[in-house]
Structure 1
Amino acid sequence: MKTFIVSGLVIIIIIGCRMALRKLASRGDAGVADLVKYHDALYPVEKAGKWGYMNNRLEMVIKPQFMRADNFQEGFAVVAIESDPGNSPSRFLFGFIDTSGRTIAAIKYHKVAGFSQGLAMVMKDEKYGYINEKGIEIIPLQYEDASSFSEGLAVVKTGGKNGYIDQ
């Protein structure tokens, strides 16, 4: 009899959870069913073709305004807006925001990589460099290619040759 009651309760709970998730999905909160609950985490959410960020209490913290929004890494997220086709070689321009939605690196780069060891690789006009967490280009845009930092080093290409730079 205990098994029957416990099984019945489990089924009721599962059905209730599925109904709640369907209700959220029908509101247009895309991706809500896939949220992994982390304290104070923000999740990219698409609404009406624009991306913003929602917390684990399902509150929209950063309003949908971006064409692309990546997960936060080291406290920052890559975001993109559509570029002006006449003035940019790429469809999107990229930059970084913090968890409050404040732009820390202008949304002007043609390519970026997330922060690694306090620096992020950025590219504009076919030249690569690095910005710090304040959005300041601390290693100028001068390389033909570049990778993210790992263990204090990054691979860069200049003059057709690859080499390492340190932080």
Structure 2
Amino acid sequence: MDKNGKIIVKAEYLNVGDFSEGLCYVSKEVIKKGYKWIFIDTLGNKVFDIKDNFPETEFSEGFARISSFEEQWFVNRNGVNEFGKTWKDGHGEFKNGIAYVSDKEFSDFYPINTKGERIGTKTFSRVEIYNSRKKDSMGTKDKSEYKSDNYVPFQENELWGFKDSLDNVVIKPKFYKVDKFKNGVCGVRVNKRDFETANDYFLDAIINESGEILNEIEMHCYLGFQGELIEFYGAPHFGGGVHYLNKKGEKIKPTE
């Protein structure tokens, strides 16, 4: 569905990934290897089939990495093995024109370009790749429009509030539990509970960057933002159905 709750692709799949670059992998069938995957477009039309293989990544910079569990390769938006070659292993997706592959499992990864050509002779571990990409991401991260991205929760007595990056109090402690700010809003608990239910991350309100309550609503098994919408359940233990709120704290109901 879109962020207003309008259903774009009907609920007919056993499992789905996330949309990226206009494509998403989905499955309607279970096979011996797990799920049988296809890629669809944003209207739900089948674009291509990857047969009995597994999607290791979503699309990034025009490519998705596919695995047969014995070898891996990159397909283009038509599902074709773009480079006409395979590797034993891979790590991550294409980013800034580079992806990492290996001729052995779990180690000795090396970078390739968008022609499938190896770059240099040096090899890397998964940890080295992760740290390198994390550093690059921090260096190129766009400045957020939300000042609350830098808010840090703090506790005074039994209540929680938020400080900014300079240690100034921006929201006084008045909540019994807080999540983290995202998209300018945050899930909190305003009412004290005498006991906690096992495996139930329970919050009961959404606040804005000023600490004002946008909506006071019971949210069980709170998952935070999943794309454009906040997702939670209506009862403990993932019961009571799935519910959604937008960035204004307004309830969104899926509609045809």
User: TM-score per shorter chain, which class?
Assistant: 0.5 to 0.7
| Equivalent residue, structure 2, for 1:51 | 37
Structure 1 residue 30: Cα displacement: 3.6
From 123, 130, 135, the equivalent of 1:143 is 123
| Equivalent residue, structure 2, for 1:61 | 47
Moved over 6 A (4+): none
Percent identity, please.
21
Q: 1:67-120 deviations in whole A, cap 9, x for unaligned?
A: 23421111111111132xxxxxxxxx3221111112124332323221111011
Aligned partner of residue 86 in structure 2, secondary structure:
strand
From 57, 76, 90, the equivalent of 1:70 is 57
Residues 52 and 69 of structure 1: CA distance in aligned 2, closer, same or farther (over 3 Å): farther
Structure 1 residue 52: Cα displacement: 2.0
Q: Which runs of 5+ in 2 are unaligned?
A: 30-34, 138-256
Aligned partner of residue 103 in structure 1, secondary structure:
coil
Residues 80 and 45 of structure 1: CA distance in aligned 2, closer, same or farther (over 3 Å): same
Q: 1:11-68 deviations in whole A, cap 9, x for unaligned?
A: xxx8x96xx83xx51xxx3457x876x8x71111124322221011211111142223
Q: Which runs of 5+ in 1 are unaligned?
A: 1-13, 84-92, 152-167
**Residue 108, structure 1, aligned to residue 108, structure 2:** no
Q: 1:120-157 deviations in whole A, cap 9, x for unaligned?
A: 111222322111111111234x4252415537xxxxxx
| Equivalent residue, structure 2, for 1:98 | 76
Mapped partners of 2:64, 2:118: distance in 1:
17
Residues 114 and 144 of structure 1: CA distance in aligned 2, closer, same or farther (over 3 Å): closer
Work out whether residues 65 and 74 of structure 2, in 8 Å CA contact, stay in contact via their aligned partners in 1. yes
- Which of the pair is proportionally richer in helix? 1
Residues 47 and 80 of structure 1: CA distance in aligned 2, closer, same or farther (over 3 Å): farther
Residues 70 and 113 of structure 1: CA distance in aligned 2, closer, same or farther (over 3 Å): closer
Length-normalised TM-score, structure 1: 0.56
Mapped partners of 1:31, 1:144: distance in 2:
33
State the aligned residue count.
Answer: 118
Residues 128 and 62 of structure 1: CA distance in aligned 2, closer, same or farther (over 3 Å): same
Mapped partners of 1:60, 1:101: distance in 2:
11
Q: Which amino acid aligns with 1:131?
A: I
Length-normalised TM-score, structure 2: 0.39
- Which of the pair is proportionally richer in strand? 1
Q: Which amino acid aligns with 2:27?
A: E
